[in-house]
Amino acid sequence: MTTPRQAALNMLNQVLAEGRLMSETTTLRALEGLDGPSKARALRLANETLRNIERADKLLKPHLRKLPAPYVQNMLRLAAVELAQGGDAHGIVNEAVALVSKHKKYGSMKGLVNAVLRKTAADAPGKFAIMRAPRLPKWLRGPLSEAYGREALAAMEAAHHAGAPIDISVKSDAAGWAEKLGGTLTSFGSVRLQDAGQVTALEGFEAGDWWVQDSAASLPAQLLDAQAGEAVLDMCCAPGGKTMQLAATGARVTALDASETRLKRVIENLTRTGLTAEIICADALTHESSYDAILLDAPCSATGTIRRHPDLPHAKTGDGFSELIELQTRMLAHAASLVKSGGRLVFCTCSLLPDEGEVQVEEFLETHPEFSADTSALERGGIDPAWITQEGGLRLRPDYFAEQGGIDGFYMAVLKRA
């Protein structure tokens, strides 16, 4: 029977050795056979290890003459992080040894695992507590340092290491749901849960009263300000958080995505929440119609979501980003062609890279004089005027609201057609 540690090790090996994202590892049955609480624990173990690989390697280094095979190294990392965070040393070491001993190729290294972890357990918590927040890889650290400066970069790395609470968007009465679930309200009107546990078991989930959505991710749909009866397009809609926000306004929502698999998730979410939208599976670049308002959450590097997805810096290398940026440019131009006269378009990406945000909108405005950035839409509670960028967009960073648990890094702009 698979244990949470075994599942976590499986996910780590796929992320670190094969370059897969965590979402791909779970699709590949990494959590098969585990019940809800065990799945949650496996994910927590894997994510905590990914957040703390730099620290784990420092703890292990004095006890290793040379690096072992990746499978064994990842087992040591997983166990070291658990030990450093105060886990039961006896249980952690014993299971780590057992898992390695069962491996056909590396079973002979069980003695090494036992010796290294018993030495690491002695001083891991003390050393761990005084280590710096782990740094981002060079392929990402360089561009972010250039864009925001070293001080801001250090603050973002600290936010990434801290992880993320669970934010939910509610159909109505956010204050009431915050009280029911023991949460707090964020500056953007989401309900924040610090220790949510198994989300699907919480009151209101099955009834469809709310859905999980980072507070920053909820803002683009709020800025679009869809009105009842308006024709609204959610372009690249999956997994559907923004679609549900738009549908809850009473607008006539079209939810468009190129992936049938991802659209199944959108349909499931709409069904659970009792909200409706027209679902279209098609390439966004070939879709033709006209709309009062369009929300384009474009495919991007997702570098703004690292506090929730610590696998991303390890599974990606920065390759392919230029193709993504080109796709965003084409999608933005096509979306603009679908906006009715006097209509509006919100462009957003969950990226920290200016090339996927500020630069995109600056160049768009230069080539589309019929559009202008509506900065008045950004004059609302929770938004610091200092976050409004030179071209008229809004830049959010993970270190904003750090004392309350931070937010995802996002860029968004409200573009109005004359």
State the CATH number of the domain containing residue 413: 3.40.50.150
Asked if residue 192 belongs to a domain, the reply is no
Report in angstroms the alpha-carbon separations of 34 from 10, 26, 198, 200, 415: 13, 12, 13, 15, 46
88 and 223 both lie in a single domain: no
The pLDDT of residue 371: 98
Residue 263 token pair? 């659209």
340 by Cβ neighbours in 10 Å (0-12 / 13-18 / 19+) ranks as middle
Q: What is the mean pLDDT of residues 237-242?
A: 96
Q: Which of residues 337 and 1 earns the better pLDDT score?
A: 337
**Sign of torsion over alpha carbons 257, 216, 274, 200:** positive
227 and 376 both lie in a single domain: yes
Q: Place 75 in a pLDDT band, splitting at 50, 70 and 90.
A: very high
In this predicted structure, the answer to whether residue 338 has a pLDDT above a threshold of 80 is yes
Task: Examine the fold and report which residue of 69, 102, 130 is the final residue of a domain before the chain moves on.
Answer: 130
In this predicted structure, the answer to whether residue 33 has a pLDDT above a threshold of 90 is no
Asked if residue 91 belongs to a domain, the reply is yes
Residue 357 token pair? 């945000």
CA 47 to chain centroid, in Å, comes to 12
109 and 233 both lie in a single domain: no
The pLDDT of residue 91: 96
249 and 383 both lie in a single domain: yes
Nearest to 167 by CA among 203, 213, 200: 213
Asked if residue 388 belongs to a domain, the reply is yes
Backbone phi and psi for residue 344, each to the nearest 5 degrees, phi listed first: -140, 155
244 and 379 both lie in a single domain: yes
Asked if residue 243 belongs to a domain, the reply is yes
pLDDT in tens, 41-72: 999 999 999 999 999 999 999 999 999 999 99
221 and 118 both lie in a single domain: no
Share the mean pLDDT of the chain: 96
Asked if residue 138 belongs to a domain, the reply is no
The pLDDT of residue 151: 97
- Which SS3 state, helix, strand or coil, does residue 68 take? coil
Q: Place 26 in a pLDDT band, splitting at 50, 70 and 90.
A: confident
279 and 406 both lie in a single domain: yes
The domain of 353 spans 217-417
CATH classification at residue 66? 1.10.940.10
Asked if residue 187 belongs to a domain, the reply is no
In this predicted structure, the answer to whether residue 30 has a pLDDT above a threshold of 90 is no
Asked if residue 313 belongs to a domain, the reply is yes
In this predicted structure, the answer to whether residue 27 has a pLDDT above a threshold of 80 is no
The pLDDT of residue 207: 96
The count of domains in the chain is 2
Q: Place 198 in a pLDDT band, splitting at 50, 70 and 90.
A: confident
Q: Which of residues 113 and 27 earns the better pLDDT score?
A: 113
Bridge partners of 254, per DSSP, are: 233, 278
Task: Examine the fold and report which residue of 76, 104, 130 is the final residue of a domain before the chain moves on.
Answer: 130
The pLDDT of residue 121: 95
Nearest to 218 by CA among 291, 297, 315: 297
Q: Which residues are catalytic?
A: 350
Who contacts 248 (Cβ-Cβ below 8 Å, separation ≥6)?
Answer: 171, 275
CA distance 199 to 410: 24
CA distance 163 to 194: 11
119 and 226 both lie in a single domain: no
Pairing relationship of beta strands 278-281 and 252-257 according to DSSP bridges: parallel
Asked if residue 158 belongs to a domain, the reply is no
Angle between helices 89-101 and 110-130 (to 10 degrees): 140
Task: Examine the fold and report which residue of 130, 158, 183 is the final residue of a domain before the chain moves on.
Answer: 130
